[in-house]
Amino acid sequence: MSKMAKGTKAFQTSEAAPKFLLFLKTRLRRRSAEEPAKSNPVIETIVFLVFCFVILAILVITFQKMRHG
């Protein structure tokens, strides 16, 4: 029997399923208890402007290369 078949057989046992479900339940509880990360609007604005500048620079360089090339 292959290792893959042995691995799937282990998940079919009645012992593995409840432990896995318990793991998921505790994981969901921990996530819901966490506070969302706080973001700074100034930093977000600066990052957005830098992103727009980079995209604009790429477009300008591409347009110039196509026009002169």
pLDDT digits (tens, 9 = 90+) for 21-42: 666 666 666 665 666 677 889 9
Looking at residues 12-18, what average pLDDT do you find? 55
pLDDT of residue 34: 61
The larger pLDDT score, comparing residue 60 to residue 3, is at 60
Reading the block at residue 1, the tokens are: 């029997």
Angstrom distance (rounded) from CA 6 to CA 16? 13
> Locate tokens 């706080």: which residue?
38
- Predicted structure pTM score: 0.46
Average pLDDT, the chain: 75
pLDDT of residue 69: 73
Angstrom distance (rounded) from CA 41 to CA 47? 10
User: Which residues have C-beta within 8 Å of that of residue 22, sequence separation ≥ 6?
Assistant: none
Do residues 39 and 45 lie in contact, with contact meaning Cβ atoms separated by under 8 Å? no
In this predicted structure, the answer to whether residue 11 has a pLDDT above a threshold of 90 is no
